[in-house]
Amino acid sequence: MSHEIPEFASKSEDNAGSNGLMTLKLPPYRDIFMSKIIGVGSYLPGHPISNHDLAKLVPDVDSDWIESRTGILSRHFAPESEFTSHMATKAALLAIADAQISPDDIDLIIVATTTPDNSFPSVAAKVHSALGITRPIPAFDMQAVCAGFVYGFEIAENFINSDKYNNVLLIGADKMSSILDMSKRNCSVLFGDGAGAVIIVKDDRSQVLASKIYSDGSLVDILYTDGGVSSTKTSGFVQMNGREVFRHAIEKMSTSIEDVLQMSNISADDVDFLVPHQANVRIIDGIAARLNFPDKKIVKTVSKHANCSAASIPLALDELDKSGRLKRGDLLLMTALGAGITWGSVLLRW
């Protein structure tokens, strides 16, 4: 659901490309988005598990090896009795409190997850019940793995722009520990469990400057699980070609950032904070180097909770918000890449 070039985009002889074909000059993307974030919350289960602790469970790794290759120092694993829906609900309650609204004010729930409690019903349906919302509203899950929150944001934004919904609860939640093979080090050291949520509401001013999402199905085999309901009747475990994921993550997230900056006629210098998917600090640093983002503008929380898939961006966003550094009016850029592969970016004014 990427945003198409508006019909009023200007077209002139001056815009002719080198091949003689007419090109479109993009206008500023203003006054066509009508949503903003008014609340954010996050949740991490249990106690932090350090690299030293994890090295006791995973063969052929040590604490220094994990830190040097990923920047991760610890992660959280939910106990068997705590499901994705439990974490999602806890993050949602914190976001609702932060927004100073009632659960009954919510008229749409979207949960981005790749680790639902059950094949059905959805995590979103369980959250609807757990929040005690007294009226029927639409609630559904969507899956774009680590890019789930960015995908979910664009979906929420378009629902709001349809004039059917005013207050959307968007949650990113994943229990990645349930699909990790702890006998193999290539994936088991990278992931953690957690949830983050935001309240997105209709606003009479344009707060979202640009957003765009993408997918390339030719790359499904670089990051996947080796199981599924229709293929093996089990969830399977995460499998990854780390070198290829690393390369595509830097290239595609960087390009999508450049796309939304161009769409909104905003310079990277004007962005106050970059909130990237928290997968690997080397990927984050690679994006920063490619786009010349100074380190002080980049939010990095991967060291504390590892890769929590769809929860990674809202976890980082909540930490930034609670730090007091984020001010109303600041320009915020979110970007992520996940399996599929899927990726995208959102540029908004806080």
CA-closest candidate to residue 106, choices 86, 83, 89: 89
CA-closest candidate to residue 311, choices 71, 75, 70: 75
Distances (CA, A) of 322 to 21, 28, 128, 184, 284: 50, 31, 26, 36, 21
- Residues annotated as catalytic are 146, 277, 307
- Mapping DSSP onto H, E and C, the string for the chain reads CCCCCCCCCECCHHHECCCCCECCECCCCCCCCCEEEEEEEEECCCCCEEHHHHHCCCCCCCHHHHHHHHCCCEECCCCCCCCHHHHHHHHHHHHHHHHCCCHHHCCEEEEECCCCCCCCCCHHHHHHHHCCCCCCCCEEEECCHHHHHHHHHHHHHHHHHCCCCCEEEEEEEEEHHHHCCCCCHHHHCCECEEEEEEEEEECCCCCEEEEEEEECHHHHHHEEECCECCCCCECCCEEECHHHHHHHHHHHHHHHHHHHHHHCCCCHHHCCEEEECCCCHHHHHHHHHHHCCCHHHECCCHHHHCECHHHHHHHHHHHHHHHCCCCCCCEEEEEEEECCCEEEEEEEEC
